[in-house]
Structure 1
């Protein structure tokens, strides 16, 4: 498949081939995408927020906002990144090592590059579904206006997709291993969430940890979703991360699937 239209037709076919596994459980995906952030917002935003908002450090911890509104943009971004883990890694582990469907796919006119782009776009679509569900929960449970909530959802989609590209490249390299999703969740996601300022102001972290947080996409996503000053550097970082991750994913797919 060569040429502009036919090349993208191949990408579309890759995405279409990923859809059947969700046709039977899309309702469950939508419900879980709404219920999980709802429980987080209720437990942390109202539960912990009741202690924070009534405490002596109210304005320092909540940035002058009710804790629920302070937390909501971060929940959107964190949820997108968490969704990226399973959606980016599991299909690659299955396609290269389990059912080995990727080898069958590239034996057709579909190329490894089309397969890689189709995979990334499908993961982005799945992140978008989760993000929309979370955004609905935010609008229902908080006083965050529609425009900032939608803006934070767009940032969450960008951050989650950028992170997914890096995970996809990693999954191609380690496709013969096991437990990658668990490893990433424990070793990468948990520290990133703690260092991102999602649940408490970034300024409360020790100064020596600040450079570590600056290197993490989640921190930039959370800051951008909250409408922090100096948005362009955060946006530039995420776009650069997305570009580099996509290029690395393309390279890894080509090397792995080109005989």
Structure 2
């Protein structure tokens, strides 16, 4: 019998097509893995920014209401009393409003950082363990932490820009370099928030630790960091609180760019280095803790 001339070639063609599809799928999977490894932190940041949309009203109210209320109450209200008694150049050679506004900018950034680096971190590790699910993909724990930092930077910059615009509206920024206060406030928020994030990443059960951080760390630092009055006016046995506070170091830098506060050059270097010394090790420690917690 004579074999059909095309019948023997069919299995070969089908096999070739199947092999081609498999190769395409493997290449696509390899491409996706490479993208995840390269851009994993940005995927996590996108996820966090999308989550922020669920409480966007709170974010907007805080971004607009905080500078409006604080600048009006502390700068205009209390500032009027101070100026009435001590003159228009009452504190550090400027009005009280111009003196306190850069400090309020940095304090607002720290408040934002304390919100984003505490409960959302606890949520991702424990309450709704999205970090565990993300780490099951090619995205590493370190990239999860990096993504958190990126998302917080976005919110810090946005909030600080709004605050700076209100400072402009109230006439609290006489210097043309005052816009640099946005970058300074962002760095202050990271310097405060990164060590907090590393600590929260170690918490297995929240028994009030985060609330105590807000009450016994954030509040005293705000009051004793030269925010509402010069640090030098405090008793010497309390000034050390300000020296250790990132809020004081950032406030001093913000006052330099806002109205030209007189600070020795060496102290400017100390302020900048101190903020980075808090931020970078805290960030790296958080990455290490996340890796240990998610991979064990």
After TM superposition, the score normalised by the length of structure 1 is 0.92
Aligned partner of 1:96 in structure 2 is 125
Quickly say closer, same or farther: Cα 1:224–1:175, change in 2 above 3 A. farther
Aligned partner of 1:11 in structure 2 is 41
Alignment of 1:85-124 (within 5 A): 85-124=114-153
Q: How far has the Cα of 1:220 moved from its partner? A: 0.6
Find the aligned partners of 2:69 and 2:83 in 1 and give their Cα distance: 19
Pairing partner for 1:251 from 288, 292, 295: 288
Is this contact kept in 2: 1:71–1:199, CA < 8 A?
yes
Pairing partner for 1:238 from 270, 275, 288: 275
Quickly say closer, same or farther: Cα 1:23–1:212, change in 2 above 3 A. closer
> Rg larger in 1 or in 2?
2
Is this contact kept in 2: 1:30–1:129, CA < 8 A?
no
Question: 2:68 aligned with 1:38, yes or no?
Answer: yes
Aligned partner of 2:222 in structure 1 is 193
Q: How far has the Cα of 1:133 moved from its partner? A: 1.3
Alignment of 1:1-259 (within 5 A): 7-26=37-56, 28-56=58-86, 62-145=91-174, 147-227=176-256, 228=261, 229=263, 230-259=267-296
Quickly say closer, same or farther: Cα 1:51–1:162, change in 2 above 3 A. same
Find the aligned partners of 2:35 and 2:171 in 1 and give their Cα distance: 44
Instruction: State the secondary structure of the residue aligned to 1:134.
Output: helix
Is this contact kept in 2: 1:34–1:136, CA < 8 A?
no
Q: How far has the Cα of 1:62 moved from its partner? A: 1.2
**Aligned-residue CA RMSD (Å):** 2.2
Structure 1: gaps of 5 or more residues: none
Find the aligned partners of 2:35 and 2:125 in 1 and give their Cα distance: 27
Find the aligned partners of 1:217 and 1:91 in 2 and give their Cα distance: 22
After TM superposition, the score normalised by the length of structure 2 is 0.81
Cα offsets for 1:56-103 (capped at 9, x unmatched): 4875x5112111111110011000001111111111111111111111
Structure 2: gaps of 5 or more residues: 1-29
Q: How far has the Cα of 1:210 moved from its partner? A: 2.2
Q: How far has the Cα of 1:185 moved from its partner? A: 1.4
Cα offsets for 1:203-223 (capped at 9, x unmatched): 111112223321221111111
Q: How far has the Cα of 1:149 moved from its partner? A: 2.5
Aligned partner of 2:17 in structure 1 is none
Cα offsets for 1:22-46 (capped at 9, x unmatched): 2355355234302211100101111
Quickly say closer, same or farther: Cα 1:179–1:42, change in 2 above 3 A. same
Number of corresponding residues: 258
